[in-house]
Amino acid sequence: MNLNLKNHSVAVIGAARGIGRAIADGFVAEGCSVRGFDRDKAADFITAGDVASYMALQDFAAEFESVNHVVFCVGIGSGKFGFPFWNLDPSDWARVLEVNLIGAVNVAHAFAPKLIKSGGGSMLFLVSVAGQMGSQTDPPYSASKAALINFTQCAAKDLGPHNVRVNALAPGMVKTELNHSIWAAGQKKRPESEWQSFDDWAAEKIKKVSHLGRWQMPEEYAAMATFLASDHAKNITGQTINIDGGQVMHA
Ligand SMILES: NC(=O)c1ccc[n+]([C@@H]2O[C@H](COP(=O)([O-])OP(=O)(O)OC[C@H]3O[C@@H](n4cnc5c(N)ncnc54)[C@H](O)[C@@H]3O)[C@@H](O)[C@H]2O)c1
């Protein structure tokens, strides 16, 4: 399928590794010009900064003469195990919301005027199945993703008349560093005799949550992100699209 994205200008926030890096590579493979933003300057195409800083994102947006597509791939957990929620302290919530939700809002504010000025385009937020089902693993993480799904719909309504489409992409269990921190936080809550290797923990969890019984891979999100940026998706906005092995099914 020809996506016709050649020479489009793309901003990928959270581009150093994992899903964000795969999405950046996916747009480059389509002939796009890609600039990334991440707290980790892992490559030359990345500007270093924290998404909690609106000023840093405004400076990053100013690097673009025009921009066609913006993808927000940052996400962090609390680093604690959430069963039950009082395992966490209320103060554990602030940083997760600041990065996962306010970070995305900062990106939307910094880039919306540029997308409008470019005559249209797309914005995509990486969310999670955790934001659709009251997942207990890490309540601030789940709540931040639920809020971002809601903001996606709000932004899609506001930006629709300007020909800017806004969607969310929800992974289930993807083979990236993020799952290592979830595994590590979970092991700390178990007696040492019950500790599992990462591979055993992942195999057990995947069997439980995925109807296809396999990991999702970062490249699958790149394929969907580039499709959603293309004109083939010109009538898709305000949607949350799950790539999750059927973990969450909506009627
Ligand atoms: N991996 C999964 O199984 C999974 C499942 C559901 C949802 N997601 C979501 O998908 C997205 C990508 O996840 P991933 O697995 O690639 O994660 P990852 O941890 O591998 O990568 C996240 C990237 O964000 C960057 N980052 C983190 N905090 C930042 C900050 N404050 N400012 C700037 N950059 C920052 C990191 O340096 C890293 O490059 C996230 O939004 C995550 O919540 C992932």
In the chain, what are the domain boundaries? 9-243
In this prediction the pTM is: 0.97
| Distance of CA 177 from the midpoint of ligand 1 (Å) | 8
The number of the ligand 1 atom at minimal distance from the alpha carbon of 74 is 24
Provide the token pair at 161. 């008349």
| Distance of CA 95 from the midpoint of ligand 1 (Å) | 14
- CATH pick for 9-243 out of 3.30.360.10, 3.40.50.720, 3.40.640.10, 3.30.70.330: 3.40.50.720
Query: How would you write the pLDDT of the chain (251 residues) with one tens digit per residue?
Result: 999 999 999 999 999 999 999 999 999 999 999 999 999 999 999 999 999 999 999 999 999 999 999 999 999 999 998 889 999 999 999 999 999 999 999 999 999 999 999 999 999 999 999 999 999 999 999 999 999 999 999 999 999 999 999 999 999 999 888 888 889 888 888 888 889 999 999 999 999 999 999 999 999 999 999 999 999 999 999 999 999 999 999 88
Q: Which residues line ligand 1 (CB under 6 A)?
A: 14, 16-20, 38-40, 50-52, 73-76, 99, 126, 128, 171, 173-174, 176-179
Can you name the residues that pair with 165 across neighbouring β-strands?
122
Could you identify the residue written with the tokens 């898709």? 236
| Distance of CA 26 from the midpoint of ligand 1 (Å) | 17
pLDDT at position 71: 99
Does the CA dihedral 136-139-144-146 come out positive or negative? Answer: positive
pLDDT at position 67: 98
The number of the ligand 1 atom at minimal distance from the alpha carbon of 14 is 24
User: At residue 165, what is the residue type?
Assistant: R
| Distance of CA 109 from the midpoint of ligand 1 (Å) | 20
